[in-house]
Amino acid sequence: MYSTIISLRIRPDKIEQALRIYRSSILPVIEKQNGLASILVFSCRLRNELISCTLWHSYESMIEMERSGIMDQQIVKLSGTLAEPAEGDNYELEIFV
């Protein structure tokens, strides 16, 4: 299994707005992507940060999503809440219980 993990630094007092956008507008698009296994979103209100973790059944599915530009289009939806540009990378999942 493979994962794309994106760190989003959110402007102060914008975490709830960012989560609303993620739930209502971003999730429905990402959930439709071929090869998606799961989506996890973590929040840290103390650091004004969201971590988005998408899990993919195959490397090819993860790369297809990346090359399509769909995730970049979704992050643009959060632009009014971001304190700095999103950072992300791809990983291979080694342990899953």
Q: In percent, how much of the chain has pLDDT > 90?
A: 98
Q: Is the pTM of this model over 0.85?
A: yes
Q: Which long-range contacts (CB under 8 A, 24 or more apart) does 40-43 make?
A: 43/15, 43/19
Quick: pLDDT tens for 65-91.
999 999 999 999 999 999 999 999 999
**Measuring CA to CA, how many Å separate 59 from each of 18, 22, 23, 45, 54?**
28, 24, 25, 32, 12
Q: What is the pLDDT of residue 96?
A: 86
With a cut of 70, list the residues of the chain below it in pLDDT: none
The Cβ of residue 12 has, within 10 Å, a number of other Cβ atoms equal to: 8
Q: Which domains does the chain have, with CATH numbers?
A: 2-92 (3.30.70.100)
> For residue 82, what are the β-bridge partners?
10
